[in-house]
Structure 1
Amino acid sequence: MLPPLLDHLRRRRRGYLALCACLVLGLAPERPDRSPGPQLAAVLERDFLSVQTRNTPTTYYEGRQGPTGFEYELMRRFADHLGVSLTLDADHNIAGVPEAVRTEGDMGAAALPLDPSREGLIFSRPIMPLQPLLVYRRGLPPPEDIDDLVGLEIGTLTDTGTDRVMRELQADHPRLSWKESDDIEVAALLGQVADGALDAAVVFEHQFRLNRLFFPEVEDGFRLGRPLSLAWAFPTGQGLGLVREANRFLTDLQGSGLLSRLETRYFGRDDYLEYVGARTFIGHVHERLPEYDGLFRAAARQTGFDWKLLAAVGYQESHWRPEATSPTGVRGLMMLTNATASDLDVDDRLDPAQSIDGGARYLRELKDRLPESITGEDRLFMALAAYNVGLGHLYDARRLTEMQGGDPDAWTDVREALPLLQEREWYSKTRYGYARGGEPVIYVRNIRRYYEILAYVDRSQQQFHQLNARRPEASETGIFDLVPPSS
């Protein structure tokens, strides 16, 4: 056992070092004073926490089960930790969040990089690393180091932290130049690369993993600089009670392993809607489908669909695995949400018979709820898209189609508008906001291909050659400011 005096001195030294570290990082130090301070007291008094955020896939958006997103999950849990409800203001781009935190909200959670130089803000402890990544258009000579970037048209986003990394790199590489914008989000930036408007872009690694499925023309290059840190922002001058509670909450979340599991759930996969080769699919046709084709046929008789279409939906949803569970919690062979299953009186989502019957009835319900002006195959394809992204987001896409002069009753026009739900310029004009609009386009395309294969097998029962899926097209625009070489 340490002598009492030595133990006391060591405890004081640890506290001093912790305080220094907090000051260097711009974090709120833990102080002996445990008073809540005016901000935390106000939050508890009014019984809700007001958060400034962004409508993006890495932060917060409306998914099939309602609000979702990595930081939304953390915000919701933090509000529960405080014992209050949660209110969000998501009508911001990243450049607008800090000022909104200073003047309006209790805190900001919007994929913000920890930046001690920001006036009027104090940051929480780091939540997760943000690794800048150079991505480039397929077909270009693969860049291997920073010198290879000179002369390329490179884009990044203002105030995200990647622009700060580029300026730090320019100090040692003065010929480096790039464009930056605060009017677009990551999906639009990657679209610029895919379309050839840019040669390359600098984004964070987890953002690219989340979006790469929709931009197969974009390749990952190499990491740039040291990782930054994701953190929450709080206004100064309001006491440290709320910041302390956030730090305590995040520390406990990390210690329990839940923070790591949430990172993996939201950012650890980039193959949620992977293209499956035809040979793999036909193998499953022979090995898995015979166990369930009677159930698909029975559900088809009850709902009026072709059984092969329902089977194609089931394969796209779960690869005909009755125990399947997605990262967002939808379950079963037809991947029903808990709310949808309840509405359909499905007691056990993992029971193949109940799941197939419920999924077929849900698809029929969606198809019947569409406007009568949508007819033929267009009606079926839009019902399938709504099964994936939700009826509200489909209606938003139809409205965007009209705004662009297209036909909201034609799937060929609506599928061009759906990816716009990933762009702030467009989703800010809709009722339901951000959606991963590229997913239903791929979803419908895959189901059509699986149906075609099943129809072929059903007719001939012969082997076939692997089919190549056509990837979605991306067309994004944005306004950039040029950052010229420094010499």
Structure 2
Amino acid sequence: MSAAPSSPSRRCWRGIAALAATLLLGLVPGRFGVPDGRHLEEVLARDFLSVHTRNTPTTYYEGRQGPTGFEYELTRRFAAHLGVSLTLEADHNIESVLAAVRREGDLGAAALPLEPGTPGVIFSRPILELQPLLVYRRGLPPVTSMEDLAGLAIGTLAGAGTDRVLRELQADHPGLTWQESGELEVAELLRWIEDERLDAAVIYDHQFRLNRLFFPRVERGFLLGDPLSMAWAFPAGRGLGLVEAANRFLETLRQEGELERLVARYFGHDDYLEYVGARTFIQHVHHRLPDYAELFREAARDTGFDWKLLAAVGYQESHWDPEATSPTGVRGLMMLTNATAGDLGVDDRLDPVQSIEGGARYLRELKDRLPASITGEDRLFMAMAAYNVGLGHLYDARRITEQRGGDPDRWADVRESLPLLQEREWHSQTRHGYARGGEPVIYVRNIRRYHEILSYVDRSQQQFYLLNARMPDMEESDDALLSPAPGP
């Protein structure tokens, strides 16, 4: 990380004028004598759209049901709108995305801040509001204002827009200092805070919401500066046809409410992996589980699992809601993806019978496909992790474990490596790239807790039934549970 340079005073009206000029450049045809439709015609002629992006949770990554991410979904839909296929180059940071767009790409979609005046680039209309946020290490004195930043080691990402906000704030707060890097990603900044290499960082609010579960020692501070806009970047000098097509496409999504739905789908659900309280879980055990307990028992008999373990997986997946739908589109009580359901012969994911039976078989398949060197509980825990994150990412984490000198056959060691899939330093070396590697760690932990509670409840009920059998008169009088007090 390099120290940020000092900056000139903020020029608010100049920025607004530049922004307006940039937007007009993307909307007015035939500027500068360049044939307006040339770039769009090239894309249609070659039959694919070339997109440069970053391997991050807000842009693109290999998820549980294949490629996913907010900007991946947008560019996939845009390519389909144009009637062409999509090619992605994701091995980028922000600066290399812009360089690739200038040199060879059709567009850059990588959580790029709309920066008026960026050389060689034309930006689309704004897509998403980016609100800078200061986060800091839990245990430090509360950080609630600019005055609280004095003496803190602060980091941010170069070129992400947050560095520009800090430079603007520096005009009014000359003592403000920070470090910035173009090689890190948000998860690495948050890890640096937890590791005490930084005290605080400036990222975007939606990025923190997506990552906060995986970094419990990082605390929300306060919002910094005015919101920025995220936009797509296009190469200048190749006509405006593709830019105009993108702007029309994005505006249609906005008017139809689909853009808002996508934002809610990818950024509006940041707590679905959190462990609910035991009291809530017990309530669901009493009111929901009885409807499905026999289905879990049947699936357990067919697959060799403890039925309570399968029930715990089902609760983690859907809270035993047969009509549940996740933010990423997996559905049903066991939350099967479309592809997995098809492979398992499940034609109705919302049918609890098919869902539970299919989910149990899928977990069995995952467990059976693991290397024979993984045994005992380690094998079970890794199968559960693969149910959440996919076998490919689990194998990547095992390879990282080996690189770090750990045992890739022990869950305790692999559990330490999975979160590293969120950090560019590590996921750039793997076959399957970025993953929300903290998720399967929380996922397995929660299932183990639910399983423990279910086992306790099951044992308690069995003990109660045995006690009841030994005390046949118990139903006749509650007094049987009381003994006379001893005399004085």
* TM-score greater than 0.5 by the shorter chain: yes
Q: Which of these residues, 25, 28, 31, is aligned with residue 26 of structure 2?
A: 28
Q: Which residue of structure 2 aligns with residue 60 of structure 1?
A: 60
- Matches of 1:197 and 1:453, distance apart in 2: 38
Q: Which residue of structure 2 aligns with residue 401 of structure 1?
A: 401
Are the aligned partners of 2:51 and 2:108 in contact in 1 as well (CA < 8 Å)?
Answer: yes
Describe the superposition over 1:91-132 as per-residue Cα deviations: whole angstroms up to 9, x where unpaired.
111221111111121110000000012111110010011010
Q: Which residue of structure 1 aligns with residue 124 of structure 2?
A: 124
- Matches of 2:370 and 2:438, distance apart in 1: 21
Are the aligned partners of 1:135 and 1:200 in contact in 2 as well (CA < 8 Å)?
Answer: yes
Question: What residue identity is the alignment partner of 1:91?
Answer: D
Q: Which residue of structure 2 aligns with residue 205 of structure 1?
A: 205
- Matches of 1:74 and 1:194, distance apart in 2: 33
Describe the superposition over 1:61-111 as per-residue Cα deviations: whole angstroms up to 9, x where unpaired.
111111110000110011111111100100111221111111121110000
Identity of aligned residues (%): 75
Question: What residue identity is the alignment partner of 2:447?
Answer: I
- Matches of 1:60 and 1:238, distance apart in 2: 26
Q: Which residue of structure 2 aligns with residue 472 of structure 1?
A: none
- 1:417-456 maps to which residues of 2 (within 5 A)? 417-456=417-456
- 1:287-302 maps to which residues of 2 (within 5 A)? 287-302=287-302
Are the aligned partners of 1:36 and 1:241 in contact in 2 as well (CA < 8 Å)?
Answer: yes
Q: Residues 462 and 194 from structure 1, CA distance in 2 versus in 1: closer, same or farther, beyond 3 angstroms?
A: farther
- Matches of 1:103 and 1:167, distance apart in 2: 29
Q: Which residue of structure 2 aligns with residue 153 of structure 1?
A: 153
- Matches of 2:19 and 2:59, distance apart in 1: 27
Are the aligned partners of 2:399 and 2:408 in contact in 1 as well (CA < 8 Å)?
Answer: yes
Question: What residue identity is the alignment partner of 1:277?
Answer: G
- Matches of 1:242 and 1:235, distance apart in 2: 10
Flag structure 2 segments of 5+ consecutive residues without an equivalent. 1-15, 464-488
Describe the superposition over 1:172-219 as per-residue Cα deviations: whole angstroms up to 9, x where unpaired.
101001111122111111111122221111000110111111112111
Q: Considering only CA atoms, is the larger Rg found in Structure 1 or Structure 2?
A: 2
- Matches of 1:265 and 1:53, distance apart in 2: 20
- 1:28-177 maps to which residues of 2 (within 5 A)? 28-31=26-29, 36-177=36-177
Question: What residue identity is the alignment partner of 2:49?
Answer: L
Give the Å deviation of 1:448. 0.7
Q: How many residues align?
A: 446
SS of corresponding position for 2:151: coil
Flag structure 1 segments of 5+ consecutive residues without an equivalent. 1-17, 464-487
Q: Which residue of structure 1 aligns with residue 471 of structure 2?
A: none
Q: Which residue of structure 2 aligns with residue 330 of structure 1?
A: 330
Q: Which residue of structure 1 aligns with residue 11 of structure 2?
A: none
Give the Å deviation of 1:462. 10
Q: Which residue of structure 2 aligns with residue 389 of structure 1?
A: 389
Give the Å deviation of 1:274. 1.5
SS of corresponding position for 1:201: strand
Are the aligned partners of 1:61 and 1:434 in contact in 2 as well (CA < 8 Å)?
Answer: yes
1:307 aligns with 2:302: no
Are the aligned partners of 2:125 and 2:231 in contact in 1 as well (CA < 8 Å)?
Answer: yes
Relative to structure 2, which stretch is displaced further, 118-127 or 189-198?
189-198
Question: What residue identity is the alignment partner of 1:371?
Answer: P
Q: Which residue of structure 2 aligns with residue 219 of structure 1?
A: 219
1:190 aligns with 2:190: yes
Give the Å deviation of 1:405. 1.3
- Matches of 1:340 and 1:79, distance apart in 2: 25
Q: Residues 24 and 239 from structure 1, CA distance in 2 versus in 1: closer, same or farther, beyond 3 angstroms?
A: closer
Question: What residue identity is the alignment partner of 2:444?
Answer: V
- Matches of 1:180 and 1:278, distance apart in 2: 42
Give the Å deviation of 1:28. 1.3
- Matches of 1:419 and 1:210, distance apart in 2: 14
Are the aligned partners of 1:136 and 1:220 in contact in 2 as well (CA < 8 Å)?
Answer: yes
- Matches of 1:19 and 1:179, distance apart in 2: 29
Give the Å deviation of 1:237. 0.7
- Matches of 1:387 and 1:422, distance apart in 2: 18
Describe the superposition over 1:250-291 as per-residue Cα deviations: whole angstroms up to 9, x where unpaired.
111111110011011111121121111111111111111111
Q: TM-score, normalising length from structure 1?
A: 0.89
Name the Cα RMSD after superposition: 1.8
Give the Å deviation of 1:38. 2.4
- Matches of 1:280 and 1:243, distance apart in 2: 50
Q: Which residue of structure 2 aligns with residue 415 of structure 1?
A: 415
Describe the superposition over 1:351-372 as per-residue Cα deviations: whole angstroms up to 9, x where unpaired.
1111110000000000000111
Give the Å deviation of 1:36. 4.6
Describe the superposition over 1:354-405 as per-residue Cα deviations: whole angstroms up to 9, x where unpaired.
1110000000000000111111111000000000000111111111111111
- Matches of 1:35 and 1:264, distance apart in 2: 38
Relative to structure 2, which stretch is displaced further, 251-260 or 215-224?
215-224
Describe the superposition over 1:318-364 as per-residue Cα deviations: whole angstroms up to 9, x where unpaired.
01111111011111110011111111111211111111100000000
- Matches of 1:80 and 1:346, distance apart in 2: 28
- Matches of 2:274 and 2:24, distance apart in 1: 41
Question: What residue identity is the alignment partner of 2:240?
Answer: L
Give the Å deviation of 1:232. 0.4
- Matches of 2:30 and 2:215, distance apart in 1: 51
- Matches of 2:146 and 2:311, distance apart in 1: 49
Q: TM-score, normalising length from structure 2?
A: 0.89
Q: Which residue of structure 2 aligns with residue 14 of structure 1?
A: none
1:340 aligns with 2:340: yes
Are the aligned partners of 1:26 and 1:115 in contact in 2 as well (CA < 8 Å)?
Answer: no
SS of corresponding position for 1:109: strand
SS of corresponding position for 2:49: strand
Are the aligned partners of 1:71 and 1:110 in contact in 2 as well (CA < 8 Å)?
Answer: yes
Q: Residues 278 and 74 from structure 1, CA distance in 2 versus in 1: closer, same or farther, beyond 3 angstroms?
A: same
Question: What residue identity is the alignment partner of 2:306?
Answer: D
Q: Residues 216 and 20 from structure 1, CA distance in 2 versus in 1: closer, same or farther, beyond 3 angstroms?
A: closer
